C-alpha cells in the first residue's frame, strides 16, 4: 500500500480536522508541521502528541522531512504560495478552499500543478454529504424531469473574528465557494455567466461585504440563484443552504440538514395540476464531510485518477466566485469560462 509522508501547513482551527483524518488513515504519516508562527505549530504538535519537527517555512520543511504530500490548511491569502511551493518541489497538495484569492492566481496555481505532474486537490466537503448525494443522483436520473432552476438561500450570523472579518468579500470568497460548488454538483452543469450584487447590510460586523445576491446562467440552460448573508442573525438556514430545484415535472427541496423531499406532477387537470410526493432515495455509502472528500482524494491519488475536486475541476467553482465579485464591482453581467 502507498505510504504518504505528510507535512501540514497551517496549524489553526481547521488543521484539527485534517490531523484527525491523518491519525485514522493507516498509510499516512505526519512528518512535520508548519506555521508562520512556530509557536502555533509547536502547540499543535504537543496537543496532538505528534513527535515531529516544526517549521515556519514550507520549503525547509519539505527538504528536511522528505514529505510527498502537503495538507494546506493555511488562510486563503497563503494558498497560492503554499501550493506552488509544494508543487514546484514535486510534492502533491490537498488543500482547503479557496484555491487562491484571485482568479488569475488560481489559474497560475493550476498551471503550476499541470506542469508539475503532481496533484492539487481542493477540499469541498459540502458535496460529500449523503443528502446532497441523494439529491444529485435523483436530479441526474430525471426525478423531476429536466431541471430549469436551482435556488439556494444561505442566512447565518457567525462571529468568527480573525481573517474573515477583514476580507473584502468574506461571504463570496470564503463561504459561497461551497454553495456555488454544490450548485455545479447538483446541476451537473457548468457556469456560463453571473450577475451579482454584493453589499454589507446594516448591523454587519464584517469590514467587507457580508451579503450577496447572484444569478448564474448554467451550460444546460438552467439558472442558479443565490441569496446569502453572513450577518443575518436569527432564523438561520443550515450551512449547506436551503435549496429549491424546479424541473419540468416537479420540484425538489432540501434544507441542507434533513433528507431531500420532492413532488412530481401526477395529473394534467385543473388550474393547478395535482402533484404527489416522491421519494429521493439514499445512495451514498461513503463517509461524509472532510473525511469523505479526503477519502476521494487519497483514492484518486493511489489509483492514478483525478479526484472529483481536483484543481482542474475546482477552477470552475473558483471562476463563479471571482466572476461574482467582478460583477458586483462593475455592476455588469460577467461571462465565465
Ligand X SMILES: NC(=O)c1ccc[n+]([C@@H]2O[C@H](COP(=O)([O-])OP(=O)(O)OC[C@H]3O[C@@H](n4cnc5c(N)ncnc54)[C@H](O)[C@@H]3O)[C@@H](O)[C@H]2O)c1
Which residue in the set 62, 69, 93, 123 belongs to the binding site for ligand X (CB under 6 A)? Answer: 123
Asked whether position 125 contacts ligand X by CB under 6 A, the answer is: yes
Residue 37 vs 199, nearer CB to ligand X:
37
Selected binder of ligand X within 7, 8, 11, 232 (CB under 6 A): 11
Instruction: Give yes or no for a contact between 191 and 323, defined as CB atoms under 8 angstroms apart.
Output: yes
Q: Give Cα 15 distance to the centre of its chain.
A: 16
Report, in Å, the least distance between residue 219 CB and ligand X.
26
Residue 248 C-alpha cell reads as 419540468
Cell of 37: 508562527
For ligand X (CB under 6 A), the number of binding residues is: 26
Closest to ligand X by CB, 35 vs 242, is: 35
The answer to whether 76 contacts ligand X (rule: CB under 6 A) is yes
62 is an interface residue for ligand X by CB under 6 A: no
Alpha-carbon 178 to chain mean position: 4
Q: Does 292 bind ligand X (CB under 6 A)?
A: no
Alpha carbon distance 289, 293 (integer Å): 6
Decide: 230 and 156 in contact? Cβ < 8 Å.
yes
CB of 39 to ligand X, least distance (A): 9
Between 84 and 204, name the residue whose CB sits nearer to ligand X. Answer: 84
Stretch that binds ligand X, among 13-21, 210-218, 219-227, 305-313 (CB under 6 A): 13-21
Does 74 bind ligand X (CB under 6 A)? Our answer is yes
Q: Which residues pair with 145 in a beta bridge?
A: 143
Binding region for ligand X (CB under 6 A) out of 33-41, 129-137, 241-249, 294-302: 33-41
The 3 state secondary structure assigned to 135-171 is: HHHHHHCCECECEEEEEEEEECCCCCCHHHHCCCCHH
Asked if 40 touches ligand X (CB under 6 A), the answer is yes
Helical H segments across 161-256, by residue range: 170, 177-187
Q: Which has the closest alpha carbon to 118: 250, 327, 311, 332? A: 311
Stretch that binds ligand X, among 3-11, 62-70, 113-121, 250-258 (CB under 6 A): 3-11
Candidates 20, 25, 29, 36; binder of ligand X (CB under 6 A) is 36
25: cell is 488513515
Q: Choose the binding region for ligand X from 8-16, 223-231, 252-260, 297-305 (rule: CB under 6 A).
A: 8-16
- 35 vs 308, beta carbon nearer ligand X: 35
Which of 23, 28, 31, 32 has its CA nearest to residue 2?
28
Integer Cα distance of 163 and 69 in angstroms: 26
Per CB under 6 A, does 158 bind ligand X? no
19 binds ligand X (CB under 6 A): no
Give the integer Cα–Cα distance in Å for 313 and 113: 13
Query: Applying CB under 6 A, does 12 fall inside the site for ligand X?
Result: yes
CA distance linking residue 74 with residue 106, whole number of Å: 15
Nearer to ligand X, 9 or 334 (CB): 9
> Shortest distance, CB of residue 127 to ligand X, whole angstroms?
11
- Cell numbers at 204, concatenated: 454587519
CB of 277 to ligand X, least distance (A): 32
What's the min distance (Å) between Cβ of 330 and ligand X?
25
Q: Does 174 bind ligand X (CB under 6 A)?
A: yes
CB-CB contact of 121 with 174 (8 Å)? no
203 CB neighbour count, 10 Å cutoff: 10
CB nearer to ligand X: give 123 or 183.
123
d(CA 158, CA 179): 17
Q: Residues interacting with ligand X, by CB under 6 A?
A: 9-15, 34-37, 40, 73-76, 78, 81-82, 96-97, 123, 125, 162-163, 174
Amino acid at each position: 500500500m502507498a505510504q504518504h509522508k505528510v507535512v501540514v501547513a497551517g496549524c489553526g482551527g481547521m488543521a484539527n480536522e485534517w490531523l484527525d483524518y491523518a491519525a485514522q488513515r493507516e498509510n499516512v504519516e505526519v512528518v512535520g508541521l508548519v506555521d508562520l508562527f512556530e509557536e502555533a505549530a509547536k502547540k499543535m504538535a504537543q496537543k496532538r502528541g505528534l513527535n515531529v519537527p516544526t517549521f515556519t517555512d514550507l520549503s525547509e520543511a519539505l527538504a528536511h522531512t522528505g514529505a510527498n504530500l502537503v495538507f494546506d490548511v493555511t488562510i486563503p491569502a497563503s494558498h497560492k504560495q503554499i501550493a506552488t511551493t509544494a508543487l514546484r518541489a514535486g510534492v502533491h497538495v490537498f488543500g482547503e478552499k479557496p484555491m487562491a484569492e484571485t482568479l488569475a492566481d488560481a489559474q497560475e496555481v493550476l498551471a503550476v500543478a499541470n506542469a508539475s505532474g503532481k496533484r492539487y486537490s481542493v477540499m469541498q466537503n459540502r458535496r460529500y454529504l449523503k443528502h446532497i448525494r441523494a439529491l444529485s443522483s435523483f436530479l441526474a436520473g430525471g426525478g423531476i424531469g429536466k431541471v430549469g432552476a436551482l435556488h439556494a438561500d444561505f442566512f447565518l450570523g457567525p462571529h468568527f473574528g480573525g481573517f474573515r472579518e477583514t476580507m473584502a468579500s468574506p461571504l463570496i470568497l470564503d463561504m459561497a465557494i461551497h454553495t456555488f460548488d454544490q450548485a455545479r454538483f447538483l446541476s451537473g452543469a457548468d457556469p456560463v455567466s453571473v450577475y451579482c450584487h454584493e453589499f454589507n447590510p446594516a448591523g454587519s460586523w464584517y469590514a467587507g461585504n457580508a451579503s450577496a445576491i447572484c444569478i448564474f446562467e448554467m451550460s444546460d440552460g438552467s439558472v442558479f440563484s443565490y441569496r446569502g448573508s453572513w450577518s443575518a442573525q436569527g432564523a438561520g438556514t443550515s450551512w449547506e443552504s436551503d435549496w429549491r430545484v424546479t424541473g419540468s415535472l416537479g420540484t425538489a427541496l432540501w434544507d441542507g440538514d434533513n433528507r431531500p423531499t420532492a413532488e412530481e406532477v401526477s395529473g394534467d387537470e385543473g388550474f393547478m395540476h395535482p402533484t404527489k410526493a416522491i421519494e429521493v432515495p439514499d445512495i451514498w455509502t461513503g463517509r461524509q464531510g472532510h473525511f469523505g472528500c479526503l477519502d476521494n482524494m487519497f483514492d484518486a491519488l493511489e489509483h492514478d485518477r483525478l479526484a472529483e475536486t481536483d484543481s482542474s475541476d475546482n477552477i470552475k467553482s473558483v471562476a463563479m466566485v471571482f466572476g461574482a465579485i467582478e460583477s458586483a464591482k462593475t455592476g455588469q453581467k460577467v461571462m465565465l469560462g
